[in-house]
Structure 1
Amino acid sequence: MSHIDFSKAEKAIIVGKIKLYFSEELNHQIGQFDAEFLLDFIGQEIGSYFYNRGLYDAQSTLSEKLSDIQDAIFQLEQPTDFKK
């Protein structure tokens, strides 16, 4: 997996959410640098697990949709004297 680069706007939103979580859930204030450092750590050390789960979910969805398409094509088949 290649390194994921967020835009400045995306990174600002994510860092804001990290800071808010620390403040509201842990009753601890962290600075911008610490929140960005934590985001980088999560991305490097844990991000692959989330990324892979997303790929598995996408594969499953695609497989289901392809099955639906195969069924729809099968329903279009016209009867003939040929045997399968």
Structure 2
Amino acid sequence: MAIEIPKEARKEAIASIERYFRENMEEPIGNIAAGGLLSFFLEEIGPLVYNRAVAEAQERLQARVMELDIELHEDEFQYWRKFERQRKPG
């Protein structure tokens, strides 16, 4: 699965890459080269980040699902017990 980013985000990412090169490298990078570098990172490293994010989301969802029985548990057969508690002198 190819990782794609919205057009506006791509423009911002390219501008950020250009700025990074201006401020941190000896040679600046042009718009086309920055776009190529971004495409390379998205294709080469993007899946690693994506897969890790999916795995973390799965872990969190599984933890929440395991808590459902605690959060949503209802005791069964409580109708008569409710009346027995009301009858006890207290």
The whole-number CA distance in structure 1 between the counterparts of 2:75 and 2:33 is 62
Cα shift at 1:7: 2.4
1:77 maps to what in 2?
A: 75
Moved more, 6-15 or 64-73: 64-73
Taking the TM superposition and a 5 Å limit, the aligned residue runs for 1:1-84 are 2-74=1-73, 76-78=74-76
Q: Deviations over 1:17-68 (max 9, x none)?
A: 1112222233531110110000111111111101101101110111121122
Task: Give the TM-score taking structure 1 as reference length.
Answer: 0.77
Larger Cα-atom Rg: 2
Percent sequence identity over matched residues? 27
Q: Which runs of 4+ in 1 moved over 6 A?
A: none
Cα shift at 1:69: 1.7
Query: How many pairs align?
Result: 78
> Unpaired segments of 5 or more residues in structure 1?
none
The whole-number CA distance in structure 2 between the counterparts of 1:71 and 1:28 is 59
Give the RMSD, CA atoms, in angstroms: 1.9
The whole-number CA distance in structure 2 between the counterparts of 1:78 and 1:22 is 66
Task: Give the TM-score taking structure 2 as reference length.
Answer: 0.73
2:85 maps to what in 1?
A: none
